[in-house]
Amino acid sequence: MLEMTIREKGCRGCRMCIDVCPTACFDFDEKEQKAVVAKVENCIACLSCAYICPSQVISHANIHHVKNFYRNIYFSRRMEKFL
């Protein structure tokens, strides 16, 4: 099952993860002024929260990582001349 965690100490309470999440997985703890995971079941693993977090404190486990073309070393070597 998908797991999502926020490293509490690192969270600065900027709410960017809350704004970017399309399925409202996060909640904001007003007392602590930090984001918390509220509905992990809704997470589609788009990883937008992890990418946008300025402190890089959001991590996901047991998800499907899409393979990106730029990770293909053979392809990158061939494209080098155009870059």
Partner 1 sequence: MDEVLKKRRALQETMNFMAALAAGMENVLGRGANSMTMSAGRNLGRKFAAEARHTNDLLEAIDEVRKVLIANNCLWNFELFKEQGQADYVTVNDKNESQIFLVFRDCMIRQALFRFGHPQYGSLCNMMTGFFIGALETIMGKKTNLEIRHAGENACLKVLTVQV
Q: Which residues bind partner 1 (CB under 8 A)?
A: 22-24, 39, 41-42, 44-48, 51, 63-70, 72, 74-75, 78-79
> In the bound complex, what is the minimum distance in angstroms from residue 28's beta carbon to partner 1?
18
Q: Give the whole-angstrom CA distance, residue 11 versus residue 17.
A: 10
For partner 1, give the closer residue by CB, 14 or 63: 63
Tokens of 11: 């969270």
Contacts of 61 (CB under 8 A, 6+ apart): 2, 3, 4, 5
Smallest distance, Å, CB 33 to partner 1?
25
Compare residues 33 and 78 and give the one whose CB is closer to partner 1: 78
Between 32 and 79, CB nearer to partner 1: 79
What is the smallest separation between the CB atom of 4 and partner 1, expressed in angstroms?
13
Cβ atoms of 69 and 50 within 8 Å: the answer is: no
d(C-alpha 12, C-alpha 18), whole Å = 13
